[in-house]
Structure 1
Amino acid sequence: ESRPSLPAEMEQAIAAGSDGLLDRVFELVAQEITLADPLWSENIALHSLNADSFSEAWFAKRQQHNPFHWALDNLEEVERNKRARYTVPWRYAILRLHEAVQAMVPHLNDHDRERFKNGLARVFIDCYAAIPSESIRRLLALREAGVITILALGHDYEMAVEQQKTVITSEQNRYTFDVFIDARGQKPLKNKDLPFLHLREQLLATGEEIPEVGDDYTLREPPEVRGRIAFAAIPWLMHDQPFVQGITACAEIGAAIAK
């Protein structure tokens, strides 16, 4: 379990202000991981990493292997751990930490918010977005049958959805698909993206880019809708709650609105 002092330490880190907040929180994260799994922390040289380089170290070994070979090895490890009823300490520590760390996100300055999105957030998302073993077995079977393959696009690519096809252009290649299923998940949206015209105009008139909601998820602004409209649309909450897409978080939101 996390140290009992962690919530108070997280509050202190936030109270110290936006400047340096991400780095202060990463120090707390590193302490928790080291306490949970000293050996893994030593192997990854956690003491030498920071809020930016931690994600690079996290993905480094995986990027050196064929993704299907990695998936097979990982599946075998997971099955061994299930049979032995063994919980991987460092993985469980990071899984627990994502909720504690999320509290800092609304307080980050623009520079650190971008650093968080490109670094530490990717680690947390990778850790909690677990895929059932059966799904991995099916993917491996499809690959063995020659049905699927993986194309690495990199970070810089464009996607054009046309009437009869979808075209994806990366730095080095161009791919055309007759049928394309976009399963990248939800992305953060702003007030200007809201499909309801009148409400969109009201929210834009506040001068804010994202809606401000209370603990019960009702809108705080503008005054004419305050407390009258519950706004729990996930893409508009993700700016300040980047890990809000999970089933547990959605259940908590529903319970808060239902009170």
Structure 2
Amino acid sequence: MQEPPTGGRRSSIPSKRDARIEAFLIHTEDRHDLGERIAIVGAGATGTYVLDALLRSGVAHAIVVFEVSNALGPGFAYAEHLNEAHALSNIAGIEIPPLIESVNAWALRQPSAKLDAWGIRASAGDNRAFFPRVALGAWLADQFAMIVARSPVPVSVQRQVEVVDVIAMPQGCRVDWRGTDGHIVQDHFDRVIVATGYGPIATDAAATDGHNEKAPAALGGGQRTERFAVLGSSLSAIDVVTAIATARGTFVPRGGTLTYVAETPWHATLLSRNGLLPEADYWFPHPLPTLNGFTPETAAATTRGDDGDLDRLFDQFVAVLRDGAPDWAARLGLADATADDFADRYFAARHSANAWAYARQNLADARNGHEHQDTPFWRIAILKAHEVFASVLPSLSKVDLARFHRGLKRVFTDNYAAVPHLSIERLLALHDAGYLDAHALGEAYNIVSQPDGTCLVASPNWAVTFDELLDARGTQTAAMNHFPFPTLRLQLCASAIEADQAWSSGLNPAGDLTMREQDRSLERVHLCALPFLLGNRPFVQGLVECAGMAAAISRAIEEGRATTFTDQMSAAELLDVLERPSVILPDGAVLPLAGSKR
């Protein structure tokens, strides 16, 4: 059809595209928003906080929760069958965001027999106490059940089912899941929240290192194994060593000091790059005070998305430390420190000291700080600063983010991951009894499985063969090629390629945990699959982060309800999506993909 001459009257006959848009508008103009039908994939800690936040905000008219296990609430991290009572959490009650009730209020109404089994009868009401993981798992399970029971809208829970695929579609999503009878069911939702948490995800490193990953509850049973190597030195590693120790002996309090008595011979070595032990939990004010001159607002104003942001952020951070802790800053030479060498300065004193002597003194200092509710300013500043850095890390350039991971991240992780005093006591008791030591592997080391089932660990000037090697390094960053839902993985990878981003490094969603900034067709899938977020959000771990993501998702959905259906995605935008390059799914559905670059 010819276009009318310039300046002449246009034909009153609409084009086929205009007609399709008009038909779409007629179809949607009378739509009433009564809330959304939402799917939550995963019923662990993240899924539990998400469910609670959605119901509090009233954005859903129906919710379906999918869980691969039979347990609702605890997830992988707090599962009863994967943890023993001696495996402590690394977060005190005062920091845990409440659900229907706080963890301490819940603990106070538990039967005495349960509290005795968990070893928390005397500390149930102490919001500074650390509870075992199984206790937190029981709290999460109870809270999940209470949330469902009190829900004002229908909540359907599909347990012991496998979600095999998630598909983002224009104005909705599809979830394919396999029930207990083995049949695949397809269901459609307005929105899907992927809250798969810390489930076991294979990594390339795991495939090549030749090490074993075992839950602490399963360790120590093979009595013929005597020489253990434990990769890592954080609380996860302490849990592993404690599990072995309790299977082969007993911790005995004697005169105010914890000792260890073994029943069978064994020995363990903590292996880490730097050979340092974690520090003991220190007292801090809650909530943390705002840092004068370094806040999320000042950080956001500094961040431009270009190389050099990290240096500008570091300058603000150092100014706070030099002002609030001048003597400590002078000892570290912060006047001429850089974002790249700060970590070396921070750890220098610990590297020069005996690890076990330092741990003993640090525990004494931490206990004194709790008694007097006093902690050096620099510790509090670092603890708060990690929140400020976390608020802008997803906006850093690839170069600056890599620099942060190599340097500053190590400081914040060490300071944030201080462990319960009892955990340090156990390490010292095992070392004093001759059953535990620690070794620094450095950056260049090899792990080689031997034909006889043993494992050789070798670094420059050091090599030892162990009967068993156990990985306790915690959750590692997962690449997108391990993302469990194939069609959504395809969509996410196509979107990343369209935006010239490296999809192999994981996900970097917007504040609402969607990839809408890269691809509007993905705006109804919220991504809380934690291992895939760690590359760009290295602090996105723990119950505080679970609650934070849940609040961000709920807030985004609530704000979206203030716009009309066509405001969220106009008819023209929808047709643009439908005209993209597409793939045909096995059931015949046509799926548009990003990739419109010419």
TM-score, normalising length: structure 2: 0.40
**Aligned residue number for residue 244 of structure 1:** 540
Per-residue Cα deviation, 1:202-259 (whole angstroms, up to 9, x for no partner): 32233241335343324536665x2443321112111221111133112212344456
Question: Is the CA contact (8 Å cut-off) linking 2:294 and 2:320 kept in structure 1?
Answer: no
1:132 Cα offset (Å):
0.8
Gaps of at least 5 residues in structure 2 are 1-288, 556-598
Task: Describe the shift of the 1:50–1:71 C-alpha distance in structure 2 as closer, same or farther (beyond 3 A).
Answer: same
Residue 340 of structure 2 is aligned with which of 33, 46, 52?
A: 52
Letter in 2 for 1:61: A
Correspondence 1:89-128 to 2 at 5 A: 89-128=377-416
1:142 Cα offset (Å):
0.3
Residue 72 of structure 1 is aligned with which of 360, 365, 369?
A: 360
Residue 527 of structure 2 is aligned with which of 226, 231, 236?
A: 231
Correspondence 1:184-199 to 2 at 5 A: 184-199=473-488
**Aligned residue number for residue 579 of structure 2:** none
Gaps of at least 5 residues in structure 1 are none
**Separation in 1, partners of 2:392, 2:514:** 22
**Aligned residue number for residue 132 of structure 1:** 420
Instruction: Identify which range, 203-212 or 151-160, moves more after superposition.
Output: 203-212
Letter in 2 for 1:106: P
**Separation in 2, partners of 1:3, 1:49:** 20
**Separation in 2, partners of 1:51, 1:214:** 26
Task: Describe the shift of the 1:89–1:142 C-alpha distance in structure 2 as closer, same or farther (beyond 3 A).
Answer: same
**Aligned residue number for residue 143 of structure 1:** 431
1:162 Cα offset (Å):
7.4
The number of residue pairs the alignment matches comes to 257
Letter in 2 for 1:31: A
**Aligned residue number for residue 462 of structure 2:** 173
**Aligned residue number for residue 217 of structure 1:** 513
Per-residue Cα deviation, 1:38-83 (whole angstroms, up to 9, x for no partner): 2211222211211112111100010011111110010011111111
- SS in structure 2 at match of 1:205: helix
Instruction: Identify which range, 246-255 or 112-121, moves more after superposition.
Output: 246-255
**Separation in 2, partners of 1:37, 1:43:** 10
**Separation in 2, partners of 1:174, 1:5:** 45
1:37 pairs with 2:333: no
Instruction: Identify which range, 195-204 or 49-58, moves more after superposition.
Output: 195-204
Per-residue Cα deviation, 1:83-113 (whole angstroms, up to 9, x for no partner): 1111221100010001111233223333322
Counting strand residues as a fraction of each chain, which structure ranks higher?
A: 2
**Separation in 1, partners of 2:325, 2:441:** 34
TM-score, normalising length: structure 1: 0.88
Task: Describe the shift of the 1:180–1:254 C-alpha distance in structure 2 as closer, same or farther (beyond 3 A).
Answer: farther
Task: Describe the shift of the 1:205–1:166 C-alpha distance in structure 2 as closer, same or farther (beyond 3 A).
Answer: farther
**Separation in 1, partners of 2:384, 2:294:** 15
Counting helix residues as a fraction of each chain, which structure ranks higher?
A: 1
Question: Is the CA contact (8 Å cut-off) linking 1:37 and 1:89 kept in structure 2?
Answer: yes
- SS in structure 1 at match of 2:439: coil
Aligned-residue CA RMSD (Å): 2.4
